[in-house]
Amino acid sequence: MKVVAFLCRWCAYAGADTAGVGRMKYPANLRPIKVMCSGRVDPIHVLYALRKGASCVLVAGCHPGDCHYVKGNIQMSRRMFLLKNLIEFLGIEPERIQVEYISAGEAKKFSEVARRVVENAAGMDGSRLKAEWEEDHE
Amino acid sequence: MNEVSLENVDLILGWQKGELVAKPFIAKNEEDIPKLIADFTCSINLVRFLHDLEFDGKAGIFVKGCDARSLEMLIKEGKVDRDRLHIIGVPCRGVVDAKKAMRIIEMEGLKSPISVTDEGDFTLTDGNKTVRVKREELLASCCLTCRSPTPQIYDTLIGEPVEGSKDEFKDVEEIESLSLQERWEFWSDTLSRCIRCYACREVCPMCYCKECLVDPTNVVVTPKTTAYEKANRPVWISKASQLQENMIYHLIRAMHLAGRCADCGECERACPMEIPVRLLMRKAEKDLREIEARLAAMG
Amino acid sequence: MEFLCSEEDIVNWLASKLEEYAVYIPSEYGFERASSSDELKLNFPLPAISIKSLFFPHSDVLMRFRGKEIVEALPDEEKKIVLTKACDANSLKVLDAVFLSEPVDPYYERRRKNTVIVTVECEQMCYGGFCKDIGIEPEGDVVIRRRGKSYCVEVRNSELLPEFEKFEACDEGAEETAKGTKENLLNIEWLEDAFESEVWDEVSRFCISCGVCTYLCPTCHCFDITDSGRVRIRTWDSCQFPYFTMHTSGYNPRPEKKHRLRNRIYHKFSYFPQRYGIVACVGCGRCVRMCPSRIDIRELVLRRD
Amino acid sequence: MNPYLPKPAVIKEIHREVEGERAIKTFRIRPIDGNFDFTPGQTAMVSVFGKGESMFAISAYPDIEFTVMRVGRVTSALHQMKKGDTVGIRGPLGNGFPVKEWEGKNILLIGGGVGMAPLRSVLHYILDNRDKYGGLTVMCGARTSKDIIYRDELEKLMDGEDVWLSVDNEEEGWFKLNWDKPEESQIPDGTRKLVGFVPMVVAAVKPSPENCIAVTCGPPVMIKFVVQNLLKLGFKEEQIYTTLENKMKCGIGKCGRCNIGSVYVCKDGPVFRYDFIKKLPPDF
């Protein structure tokens, strides 16, 4: 069971760093991917993660108003809102996609979110979008 | 077609008579003008052909209400130059869906050639046998919920404006009322049929990208493209027609068209496997409208 | 040998085979395996996806890679009975010519052998179809023709003869009149010196380069081989796609849609007959019915009255 | 036998031919089970598992070597491989050169850039069976002297055989041909390194068509003008051979993308005689 986390380099990733420095524990099956801005996360990245077997995808960006690129996080949240609705429409749990706002200082929030997302993913079966036939998923 | 002339335009992109439904047609000479038609058989959205149409000066184009919506969006996106177009608007009372007609023809055993006439309801006849069909049964599905059958942008309008109906997204709500499991069953049944012929994409006026994200073979290669670039292009989904790959294809298409889709229904009419492609676009449209309404209410 | 049977007789015969054979019957979108005798009938539609999908499916795993090892992924052999119409039955001649000629394609061969083709003749051409115009006659191991309320069953595969001997023989005279002598309207001689013709600009003007005509065509057999993860797959491909023939360098021998459409027509009516001696078109009309731009192949290859 | 199934093969040796953006490397490959009989000019599919497979001309004889320019996904993956790595090899495919038919004749090989690769297999074959053939002339051109593949090998060969190297741009120590009238160039005796496009070299060196077979391979433009110049020198169309290339997937005449008219380049080619090519529709 794996969770892919797209973390904004300016805030959420820095938050994860702070959590690491502060020796706060968070589950190891969260696989962080650093992105320049959460707005960079294209729906295809999220779907690709699910296709490759991730149970859940977390997209974490700056708090509204704090985006380094002015409104990348707002665009991300709109995009993910729509994507969640669409996958739900197809019969896939919308909880597979999680959106959070975590600032660089919120180490505690990061570890809590990470734990919550992983626990939530553990409660679900494998994603229906996983391409079982491809046999490439370690 | 008295309202139409080649005086100020190089050519006119229009429709000509075809069996069952009209064919796209380019009128270049005065003799071509009488061949142009604009009626209930003109289902094809001609706006798509503007992307690779070559002409000097101006071109005339026939648009129905839905076609005009896609044209408007393309103008907004800078893909089409409004000043080079002479838009001939055609208020539309709905168009025939060829696939629906063919199903009736097969069922009734009609023989080609078949003529269709619009008398409130439709009449199909091959000379020997005549079949009357209820209007809703033959109209393209998008026509049943069309909000603006009269083009919103035009230079010439042919005929009287037609009142639109209120779109209540009943088809979307029907799916939404199902449980997650039921929805999954519905979509896995329909989307596993997809053969990835990409007709829905190719026929769509809004799908003009030279390089499509989901099609691993369609990459733009110029003499300057480096080997590194070609070698490292991500292949997001495979070419296999597997349910998951098909789903991601349709999800991505819906995401890319959200808020841009004119609901002309071409994708659905083009689909040889009768996948309700429109439904996904309409779901996105409905959600976006709800957000808009909510934001407006918040002031 | 021909036998006179009722629909019930034929359905009973098929039903008796359900255990030994996988019986496939056309549904609206493709061929589906019948699980019980209730699903068997002689009145079925021409499915959107042709018979080729049974022997040459859209996506087929060729092999898997496990480290340095290559694991062949041949399909299981299956004894099949396929109910079909004359057009699809004829298309198998074309596919056989390609896939069973040297070197034999083992994936196709495995699926193709042990197949009994049961062809039900159509009483009239379907909308858009032109099979009878180009002289397509029913092919198959068993050919079923309607004779009033009953059916004349022609058993061409001698192995199946004993199973029908209990039925009364069908008189042959009736068969002759039914076949009729329709003139062959195929008109392809003009292709010989039309390679550079302006016709191709004209017909391809509204082509949108989608794969509908080729994917639905029962005789189109172009494919692509790609690696996806650790699996090598074969998928249908279409000569109408712009990048079908593009070299990695970016050079494309068929860069425009007129070149690609021309190739499709020439392949079916000129190149294929040159190579294998048969025309690669069976007149099923799928491309005519489904083309989003209403391009009609009949206008190119049929003599107009 | 499954014709789609590659045999595992080990990379025995890698030789860097050309560096830079369009790097070229030659890979010597040995199938693990050892069997692989081919004739010069035949091709094979080389697989990089998980990346795909590509068709290459076999560029040596009797060793199995492939000279690969880095252009796309598979070739880039190949370029990253090391000695001892495993690839897949499927073949030999295609028709190859009719080297048996050519016995007793003079052979003229004209290659441009990476197009020299298939000609090298013929070269090796002729050197192995040197007594069966008459005179041997090799002309090999590239953009610069650094882009000439097999340069060491060809320079060594200059001692005994008639080998000409050429580059497109002027370089020190290389004799510049008359640009406007190459046929009037006065090439000093013993000079074998020329500046000029390959077709110009053909015009300047003036090989005799007498009992000669000319084989040319390279970029399409080069082939076109080389053939023109050969015809001017009195070569007959039946004396000229070339190879064609197209996008290929199956390599066995089934996948339908490499056709030129009714001919599949992968199965019926890649070697064609010029009089045959002239009859094909201009679709390549």
Contact D139, D202 (CB under 8 A): yes
Please judge whether B227 and D77 are an interchain contact, meaning their C-beta atoms are less than 8 angstroms apart: no
- Angstroms from A24 CA to nearest CA on chain B: 35
Contact D168, D147 (CB under 8 A): no
Task: Please tell me if residue B226 touches chain D, with a CB cutoff of 8 Å.
Answer: yes
Please judge whether D246 and C98 are an interchain contact, meaning their C-beta atoms are less than 8 angstroms apart: no
Task: Please tell me if residue B228 touches chain D, with a CB cutoff of 8 Å.
Answer: yes
Q: Taking residues D278-284, report their average pLDDT.
A: 85
- Give the tens place of pLDDT for each residue, D118-147: 999 999 999 999 999 999 999 999 999 899
Distance CA A68, CA A62 (A): 8
For chain D, which chains pass the contact test of at least 3 CB pairs under 8 Å? B, C
Which of B183-187, B234-238, C195-199, D1-5 tops mean pLDDT?
B183-187
Which pLDDT value is given to residue B32?
93
- Angstroms from D173 CA to nearest CA on chain B: 32
Give the number of B-D residue pairs with CB atoms closer than 8 Å: 21
Q: Is the pLDDT of residue C14 over 60?
A: yes
For chain C, which chains pass the contact test of at least 3 CB pairs under 8 Å? A, B, D
Q: Is the pLDDT of residue C173 over 70?
A: no
Q: Is C181 helix (H, G, I), strand (E, B) or coil?
A: coil
Closest partner residue to B236 (CB to CB) among A44, A83, A86 is A44
Which pLDDT value is given to residue A127?
86
Q: Is the pLDDT of residue B9 over 70?
A: yes
Any idea which residue has 């990476």 for tokens? D114
Please judge whether C239 and D256 are an interchain contact, meaning their C-beta atoms are less than 8 angstroms apart: yes
D78: nearest CA in chain B? B231
Any idea which residue has 């023709």 for tokens? C145
Which pLDDT value is given to residue C236?
95
Distance CA C189, CA C204 (A): 20
Which pLDDT value is given to residue C305?
63
Which pLDDT value is given to residue C180?
54
- Counting residues of chain B whose pLDDT is more than 90, the rounded percentage is 73
- Give the tens place of pLDDT for each residue, B35-74: 999 999 999 999 999 998 999 999 999 999 999 999 999 9
**Which ipTM score applies to this complex?**
0.92
- Angstroms from C254 CA to nearest CA on chain A: 31
Which pLDDT value is given to residue C49?
95
- Give the tens place of pLDDT for each residue, B209-219: 888 887 755 56
- Angstroms from C61 CA to nearest CA on chain A: 9
Distance CA B276, CA B187 (A): 10
Q: What is the mean pLDDT of chain B?
A: 91
Q: Is the pLDDT of residue A84 over 90?
A: yes
Report the amino acid identity of residue C287: C
Task: Please tell me if residue C124 touches chain B, with a CB cutoff of 8 Å.
Answer: yes
* Residue of C272, C274, C271, C268 whose CA lies nearest to C297: C268
- Give the tens place of pLDDT for each residue, D6-25: 999 999 999 999 988 889 99
* Residue of A20, A50, A10 whose CA lies nearest to A114: A20
Distance CA B129, CA C13 (A): 36
Q: Is the pLDDT of residue D113 over 60?
A: yes
Query: Which tokens in the block code for residue C295?
Result: 């391009």
Q: Is the pLDDT of residue C250 over 90?
A: no
- Counting residues of chain C whose pLDDT is more than 90, the rounded percentage is 71
Report the amino acid identity of residue C15: A
Query: Which residue out of A51, A130, A133, A138 would a mutagenesis test of the C interface target, given it has the greatest number of C Cβ atoms within 10 Å?
Result: A133
- Angstroms from B288 CA to nearest CA on chain A: 8
Please judge whether D51 and C227 are an interchain contact, meaning their C-beta atoms are less than 8 angstroms apart: yes
Q: Is the pLDDT of residue B98 over 80?
A: yes
Question: What's the Cα-to-Cα distance from C247 to each of B209, B227, B230, D72, D246, rounded to whole Å?
Answer: 21, 13, 12, 10, 7
Q: How confident is the model at residue B161 (pLDDT cuts 50, 70, 90)?
A: very high
Contact D242, D138 (CB under 8 A): no
Phi, psi dihedral angles at D136 (to 5 degrees): -130, 125
Q: Which residues of C touch A133 (CB under 8 A)?
A: 61, 231
Which pLDDT value is given to residue C120?
94
Closest partner residue to A86 (CB to CB) among B180, B251, B291 is B251
Task: Please tell me if residue B230 touches chain D, with a CB cutoff of 8 Å.
Answer: yes
Which pLDDT value is given to residue B127?
87
Q: What is the mean pLDDT of chain D?
A: 92
Higher pLDDT, C175 or C132: C132
Distance CA B12, CA B90 (A): 14
Query: Which tokens in the block code for residue C200?
Result: 């191709």
Q: How confident is the model at residue C265 (pLDDT cuts 50, 70, 90)?
A: very high
Q: Which residues of D touch B233 (CB under 8 A)?
A: 73
Query: Which tokens in the block code for residue A109?
Result: 């929030």
Q: Which residues of A touch C228 (CB under 8 A)?
A: 134, 136
Q: Taking residues C119-123, report their average pLDDT.
A: 92
Closest partner residue to B240 (CB to CB) among C30, C233, C238 is C233
Between residues 3 and 22 of chain D, which touch chain B (CB distance below 8 Å)?
21-22
- Give the tens place of pLDDT for each residue, B243-290: 999 999 999 999 999 999 999 999 999 999 999 999 999 999 999 999
- Give the tens place of pLDDT for each residue, D47-92: 999 899 999 999 998 899 999 999 888 999 999 999 999 999 998 9
Please judge whether C211 and B109 are an interchain contact, meaning their C-beta atoms are less than 8 angstroms apart: no
Q: Is the pLDDT of residue B115 over 70?
A: yes
Q: Is the pLDDT of residue A132 over 90?
A: no
- Give the tens place of pLDDT for each residue, C35-79: 998 999 998 999 999 999 999 999 999 999 988 889 999 999 999
- Angstroms from A108 CA to nearest CA on chain B: 32
Neighbouring C-alpha atoms within 13 Å toward the C-beta of D125 = 22
Query: Which tokens in the block code for residue B296?
Result: 């407006």
Which pLDDT value is given to residue B216?
59
Contact C15, C23 (CB under 8 A): no
